[in-house]
Structure formats: structure tokens, C-alpha cells
Structure 1
Amino acid sequence: MSEEDIAEVAEILRGDWLTTGPTVAAFEAEIGRLSGGHRAVTSTSGTAALHMAYAAAGVGAGDEVISTPMTFIATTSMASILGAKIVFADVEEDTALIDPVLVESLVTERTRVVAAVDYAGHPADYDALNSIAAKAGALVLDDAAHSIGSTYKGRPVGDLADLTTFSFFPTKNMTTGEGGAMVAKDAAIAQRAHEFHFIGLVRDSARFEITSEGPWHQEVHEFGVNYRLTDVACALGLAQLRRLDAFKKRRAEITQRYNDALESVDGIRIPVQRDDVDPIRHLYPVRVLDGRRREVFDKMRADGVGVQVNYMPVYWHPVYTNAGYRRGMCPNAEAFYAEELSLPIFPALTDSQVDQVVETLMKALQ
């Protein structure tokens, strides 16, 4: 948090609006601009944004959603809540991104959405995914919780898929405290998402089914929820967005420092980056080889370095295993999980702290 962040929030607290006011609209407009000019609808979390996206896309019972197991469970659970069947496609061995070749083999007439995840900030192969989904009459969703500010073949995240969702949780590339947003290329889908997150309220008089009421009138045609983000949160978001380029630059510097120090170290693999992407590196996931990930994790934590593991394959969660999903379905994802270790990366991390992380990792590998 900067003093500018604090000042922007304080100004809202002294003003006339706390929620659903002009600052929400301004933040949505800025997210839309950053995402290729498409409409953005803010939400209370990245999970809520996923729920909005699936609901606005009409996902329901009988539909199938193809997705990756290498993600936080919200990517799939919000489709499951709506009654869809999740079909897991394995990831590429090197990037841990959903494999388009396997997606193509899993598409059926029931496929409604292909949901990719830009793991660690690295965009998936959207040219391939969009082509596959279009042939099936399905939509592509980009869970971009890790990747706001990344580009793929020169295009920004938000302009790569039919639907894009962002997370603004404090650990992400920018924050509103809690919060998220959904971007849709189709204006009708965006409007459905807006109404869904606004308790289902319809305020367009041309669409009213009850026409005998006064100017106060509003009505609900489909059930919705209250996922509205506040002006307070959006003020923080606007201030953070102004520094997103600086955040990205510093994350790139940290990534390069890790790469230079670790690329020749025995016993680990450093993350892969495709030539056609310019990612904002949300995570720095190394792979610890020879079955030593837990040992290295424990040693580094004991030495004061806050490493983490991201993520357990989604279908290992009991909510999915109890529904019949079994281990072994996606061997690349399971192999990645067995070795993955996320090293600290955030804009305030200093060069000396990066060096400390490297030294601690090297010590743990001895």
C-alpha cells in the first residue's frame, strides 16, 4: 500500500458514495480499457467473477465445462454449483497450462465452456483454444486471476477469450482488498452478468413486464446475487492500476534474477516462458526433482522463507473424489504438483531478499 492508495480510499470515505457509485463505474471503465475495450463488471471476489461468467454464459445442468486441474478450485466449482459436469483436460508437461490437443479430444456436443487458467501469469494458447471451442459452438473463459497485465501475441489479457475473470485478492498482481471483475466480448453476456451480480434487478423500462408502476420501479426476471463491489474498494483498485506497469516491471526483474541464479542448478527446473507471451509473473514456480519437494519446503520455511505450493490438482479435493473423480486422470498435472514449489515474488521484494531466497534454496538442496 502506498500513501496514494490510502489517500484515494480516504477521499471516498469523506464523500457521498460508499458503494455502487461513480468510482465503481470509473474502475470498471479502466479495467475494460486495459482488456481491449470490452465491458467489465466488478465483483466482490475472483470467485464471484467466475460465478457471474458461468451464469451469464447460461451454464447449467446437462452442460459440460472442460477445464484444467492445475488451478484453485473456484475455476471449476462455480460451474459445478450451477449443475455442470467438469471434464478435466491435462496440462502441458512444461508450462502446466491446459493442453489444447487434449481439449480437442474431449469436446462433445454438451461442451458449453472451455475454461483455461493463465497459471503463474503465463497466458494459455488462446488461438488454439478459441478455434477448438468455435467448432463446437462453445465459449472460451480465461481465468486470469494471475495475469492482469500479461499479453499473448501482442494482445492483452481480457481480449483473448469470450469471457475473462480477474481476481484482486491481496496476493494478486494488484488489489482492491477483496474483489474481482468479469470482462465479456458479447454485450448481451456482459449485461446478463451485470444483472446477475446486481440481485437480478432489471432497470431498463423498455424491458419491463410490469408497466403500471412509477419511476421508482425495478423488477427481477431471473434470480441473481449481490456481488457488487464498493466505491471504497474501487478507489484502491484505481490507485493500484496506475502502478500496474511498475509492478509488472519489478516482477520481471525478480524473475530474471531468479532465472540467472537457478537455471543451471541441479535438482530443480525453472519455469518456462513461451516466446509469444509477455507475462506478469504472478508466481515463480520451480520444480524440485527427485521427490524432494516436501523436504525442501520444510527446510526453507524453517529458515524463514515463505515458499508455497500452487496447486493440488482440483479433482483430488474430496468434493470431486466423492463425486467419482479419481487420481491418475491427468498425469502431467499430478507430476507437476508433486514437484512444484513457489518462491516468493512481489514488487517490494528486494534484490538482497531474492538472493536470500536463492541461498536458502541452495542450502536446502545440499
Structure 2
Amino acid sequence: MIPYGRQSIDDADVAAVVQVLQSDWLTQGPTLARFEQAMAAYCQAGHGVAVCNATAALHLACLAAGLGEGDWLWTSPNTFLASANCGRYCGAQVDFVDIDPRTLNLDAGKLAAKLALAERQGRLPKVVVAVAFAGQSCDLRAIAELARRYGFCLIEDAAHAVGARYAGRPTGCGEFAAMTVFSFHPVKIITTGEGGMVMTNSPELAARLKRLRSHGMTRDAVDMDEPSHGPWYYQQVELGFNYRMTDIQAALGLSQLHKLDAFVARRRQLAARYDQLLGELPLVLPAAQADAESAWHLYVVRLNLAHIALGHREVFEALRAAGIGVQLHYIPVHLQPYYRGLGFALGDFPEAERYYGEAISLPLFAAMSDAEQDQVVATLQRIIRP
């Protein structure tokens, strides 16, 4: 089976982890700080705050933005559940903005129209989570301008987009979004096993994120309501969580970071080969967003079912049966039973639903060989054009 995604681990990664295992610090030590600093430097951002996974990163970003009971979070229906669930964790209401059928990202034009209506209704969002689907940023310029006009906090969910660029700068630089969230899950661009990070240029947000990841606890006298009782003293000043990343994970991430540009370059090369090899098939290939350079976490095609004898599920299952580990990203979040229970229904976001009925994610990972990619293409061609 050729998987849709896979980590690339080498001897240098293993050695980095072993070095930490043989050290005095296994968690919350100097390697974690180095990883955060290195990611911030790579992204040209002021601060990086590492946590145990990207879902935790989204949750803390929302809390740091002040999201809570009575507030609204808006995001794309074409995303993983965490992009919406982070709002529910904070007690907020969640709504969605339909996608651009070309880029498959949240549609900035639809967002503008929905904001204008929400302003009249008195229910503007406090947070908008803009998802960089498949590794490509949304129209962040337009969304950031809307954030200034309507006063919401823009969080970029760039779980797919470590190593991507937008408007000539690295994703995570903070030029447009108040906070950017990365994922280091094994199928992402680089991995820490499990892990995530929030990038921000705000010292205040960074300090609160660090406090929230460690139980809402501080040892900083500035944050305490009374003088310290001694060098052992700490205070819990708000309700936080144990969302910390270990030095073991950070060591792997720091080692992987040295290979990030090479990983992204290979993914872009493979994506360009797919574009060339699949051009004559009845498929809609990925489209580029203006100003965005994708990290190519995913290569998603849409089946032109009017010109294919098989249905969507039949093509998917035939590829799996032939050893091609395709996947589908994503089932629209508003169609999940939990969100249906909140009042959402089929037909609410037609572009995301139409996309879901046609989409297949083809295998794409840095270690993928040209021969494996040729096998994917030949198998797909045989199935849809027998």
C-alpha cells in the first residue's frame, strides 16, 4: 500500500532524540526552548509556543483571544473537526463560511457578505479561524482587512502549512494573523510524533499561551496578587491545562526543522509532476491562491463524475483495493452528527458539500519516489478510463 502520507525519519532524528533521553531534561527543558526559538526564527515571528498537539494549540489560541460564553467562532466547513471544536471547548457558538470552489479555502467574499449581515444582526464573530487547506493559505490580505473592520481576532489554522509562504513571507510570520497554529503530526510536513505550536508577534499573547499550557500557573511575581513566599512559590492565576510538549518531542522537531525546506521542495516537485501527469484525465486539479506558495501537505483532485463511469465511492474503493492509500479530506464539519445536533443541515454550505462528493486525496509525502507516483497515476488512469 502506498500511503497518502508518511513521516520521514533518519539517523539524525534518532540521534537527536537519544541525546535528550540521555540528558537530565526529558520535558520542559532547554531543547523545548530551542525548538520554539528556531521555529520563530524560521517563520520570522516574535514567539513560538509549543504544545502537545495542534488541537491544544487551537484551544489555547482561542482562549488567549478571549473567546468564551456568548461569543461566536467562524471557520471553514472543509477542515478537520478541531478547527471548529476549539470554539466549543471555550463555550462559544460556532458557525461556518462556505469555501471557494477553486482553492477549497474559506471564501473571503462570502465571509465579507456574512459579516455585513451579522453586523446588522448584532452577532459578529469574536474569532475567525482561517484554515490553510492542503498547505495553501487563504486570501489573508482580504480577511485581515475584514478583521480590522469588524474587530474579530484572526487565527490562521496552518496545521497543513508548515513551510508555506504567503505574500512573500513565511506562513506564521504574523503579518496578517494574530496567531498561527502548526501541527507536527506524523503525516504533516515535519513531525514531533504528536505536537503543535502557536506563532505570534504579541509578547502578551505568548505569555498567556505559555501560562495556559501549564495549568494557568505562574512563578512571575508580576502576575501574582501578593509577594512571593519563597523560591518554591507559584500561583494559579487562571484555569489552564497540561498541554505541554516534551523535550523528547522537541528534539525530533528541531532535527526535522533542518530538513523542512528540502521536504517542501520535494512535495512541490511531486505536485508539479501530478499536474503534468494528470492533465488529460477527467479531474479538477488543485488551483493556486494568489500570493500563496503551498507547502503541499495534500494533493486533492476532484472527479469529473459526468465523464467517469464509476461513482465517487467506487473510484475510492478501487484505488484502495489496488494498493493506493487514498484518503478524503474532509467530510464537511457541519454534517457531523454533533453539529447537526446544533442545528446545521445538508444544504447549508453547498460548495463544501459539492466538493465532498467529488474529492480524493492522492498519496503525497517527501520520501515518495517518482516510480510510486507513476504507479498512483497509472492506477487512477486505469480505473477512471478503463
The two structures have a TM-score, normalised by structure 1, of 0.98
Q: Counterpart amino acid of 1:328? A: G
Q: Does the 8 Å CA contact 2:52/2:196 hold for their aligned counterparts? A: yes
Tell me the residue number matched to 1:346: 365
Q: Following TM superposition, by how much is the alpha carbon of 1:21 offset from its aligned partner in structure 2, in angstroms?
A: 0.3
C-alpha deviation, 1:358, in angstroms: 0.1
Work out which of the residue numbers 63, 66, 81 in structure 1 matches 2:89. 81
Q: Measure, in 2, the Cα distance between the counterparts of 1:106 and 1:23.
A: 44
Matches within 5 A, 1:67-78: 67-78=75-86
Residue 289 of structure 1 is matched in structure 2 by 304
Aligned to 1:225: 241
Q: 1:204 is matched with which residue: 220, 236, 250?
A: 220
Aligned ranges for residues 163-174 of structure 1 at < 5 Å? Answer: 163-174=179-190
- 2:221–2:228 Cα contact (<8 Å) kept: no
Q: How far apart are the structure 1 equivalents of 2:297 and 2:20?
A: 29
> What runs of 5+ residues in structure 1 fail to find an aligned partner?
none
Q: Which moved more, 1:201-210 or 1:245-254?
A: 201-210
- Matched residue type, 2:102: D
Which residue does 2:334 correspond to in 1? 315
Q: Secondary structure at the match of 1:111?
A: coil
Q: 2:148 aligns with which of 129, 134, 146?
A: 134
CA distance in structure 2 between the aligned counterparts of 1:285 and 1:207, rounded to whole angstroms: 47
What residue number does 1:276 align with?
291
Is the CA contact 2:224–2:237 (under 8 Å) kept in the aligned structure 1? no
C-alpha separation in 2, matches of 1:106 and 1:274: 21
| % identical equivalent positions | 39
Structure 2 unaligned regions, length at least 5: 1-8
Shift of residue 329, structure 1, vs aligned partner: 1.0
8 Å Cα contact 2:216-2:239 kept in structure 1: yes
1:149 equivalent in structure 2: 163
The CA deviation at 1:206 is: 2.3
Structure 1 residues 161-200: aligned runs within 5 Å: 161-200=177-216
Instruction: Give SS of 1:71's match.
Output: coil
**What is the aligned partner in structure 2 of residue 329 from structure 1?**
348
The answer as to whether partners of 2:97 and 2:349 remain within 8 angstroms in 1 is yes
Letter of the aligned partner of 1:213 in structure 2?
Answer: H
In the alignment, structure 1 residue 58 sits paired with structure 2 residue 66: yes
- Per the alignment, residue 134 of structure 2 pairs with 120
Instruction: Determine if contact 1:66/1:103 at 8 Å carries over to the other structure.
Output: no
Q: CA RMSD in A?
A: 1.1
Q: 290-299 vs 315-324, which deviates more?
A: 290-299
For 1:346 and 1:336, the matched residues in 2 are separated by: 23
Verify the 8 A CA contact 2:138 2:289 in the aligned structure 1: no
SS at match of 1:42: strand
- Name the residue aligned to 1:7: 15
Alpha-carbon distance in structure 1 between the residues aligned to 2:182 and 2:373: 27
Count of aligned residue pairs for this structure pair: 365
CA–CA separation in structure 2 for the residues paired with 1:119 and 1:212 = 47
1:298 aligns with 2:317: yes
From 254, 274, 279, the counterpart of 1:238: 254
**1: CA distance, partners of 2:312 / 2:200:** 39
**Take 1:66 and 1:185, find their aligned partners in 2: how far apart are those partners?**
23
1:94 aligned counterpart, secondary structure: coil
Deviation at 1:199, TM superposition (A): 0.8
Compute the TM-score of the two structures, normalised by the length of structure 2.
0.93
Mapped to 2, the partners of 1:79 and 1:124 lie a distance apart of 20
Read off the aligned partner of 2:287 and give its amino acid letter: V
Contact persistence 2:275–2:285 (CA under 8 A): yes
Amino acid at match of 1:247: F
> Residues 146-202 of structure 1: CA distance to partner in whole angstroms, max 9, x if unpaired?
001111110111124111101100010000000000112222112111100011111
Aligned residue identity for 1:130? A
Q: 1:212 to 1:139 in 2, by over 3 A?
A: closer
Match of 2:5 in 1: none
C-alpha contact 2:316 2:326 (8 A) present in aligned 1: yes
Of residues 266, 270, 273, the one that matches 1:250 is: 266
Equivalent residue in structure 1 for 2:172, among 132, 151, 158: 158
Alpha-carbon distance in 1 for matches of 2:237, 2:37:
26
For residues 212 and 140 of structure 1, the distance between their equivalents in structure 2, rounded to whole angstroms, comes to: 37
